[in-house]
Amino acid sequence: MRVQYNNMMRSVNAVTKRDATCRCLAGRGLPRRQPVLAVRAASSPPNVLEDCKVLVAGATGGTGKAVIEALFAKNVPVRALVRDTTKGGSSGLAGLGNSTEMVRGDVFQFASLPPALEGCTAVICCTGARDPRDPLGPFNVDFQGTLNLIAAAKQKGVKKFVLVSSIGADDLVNPLNLFWGILFWKKRAEEELQRSGLTYTIVRPGGLKTKLRQGETAGNVVMAAPGTFGVPPVKKSGSILRSQVADVCVAALTEPAAANKVVEVIAEKDAPVRSLGELFAGVNWF
């Protein structure tokens, strides 16, 4: 496994010349650290993604479906990466709108990815290991599969890559790492994306919720610099709706302040309301 890991590390270390940013995607920059801000999605801005097509990896998962719904709400053409297009349709993707195109591909099989990315200007990666019985799951899915997608995105000239990771990725001593080092491998994938030369945004959500319990309120999204949230009592923790994570991911495609940043997100009912642009602009780091 170590040899395989080293080979994958070398395969993405070569940095290509960055393509000029298309008009529908964010700019670049690494601004300085500022205080934590919070956000609740404001009214939808004019659609500036109309000339783009976004590939969503992990499309049949809960977060992937939420991302597709958020893109569809903005009339953005979507290409859902699925291993089995028939299974993808039965998983509810076919009902997410006419602009959703399902394409066969597997992050484990690099050769399947460049054709799937043909014509796409952005990628939102929502993949993640699910089977706790598979000791190689986090390495294969969260690291190697992500590296394959990064390499394919570079090859096809993708302009923006949004990666959904997790809070606690900076913390080696974290109970989630008992699941075969899942946060360790997520962090390694983050680092490879940062070194890839692609314009990126890494979104680290807290505990993911698909829907609210009776009487529960969603709260407003709180965004912070990497390393802010984690395991109590050392660090503050929290949860967030998948739909809120999806809104953050989609906003990252167009907000200039989101370029080349790692952000952590949870939701709190008492958090102040900020626009998504303010949110990204307020989370700055070195």
Q: Which residues are bridge partners to 196 per DSSP?
A: none
Predicted pLDDT of residue 25 = 44
Residue 67's Cβ-count burial label (10 Å; 0-12, 13-18, 19+) is buried
Predicted pLDDT of residue 97 = 58
Phi, psi of 80 (to 5 degrees): -95, 120
Predicted pLDDT of residue 99 = 62
Residues 246 and 164: their CA atoms lie apart, in Å, by: 9
Residues 176 and 274: their CA atoms lie apart, in Å, by: 31
- Weakly modelled stretches of the chain, pLDDT under 70: 1-50, 87-92, 94-99, 285-286
Residues 54 and 62: their CA atoms lie apart, in Å, by: 17
Predicted pLDDT of residue 95 = 64
Predicted pLDDT of residue 226 = 95
Predicted pLDDT of residue 285 = 63
Residues 212 and 241: their CA atoms lie apart, in Å, by: 8
Predicted pLDDT of residue 213 = 85
Is 2-11+23-30+48-208+240-265 a CATH 3.40.50.720 domain? Answer: yes
Residues 178 and 166: their CA atoms lie apart, in Å, by: 15
Residues 48 and 25: their CA atoms lie apart, in Å, by: 8
- Write out the two tokens for 110: 């690099």
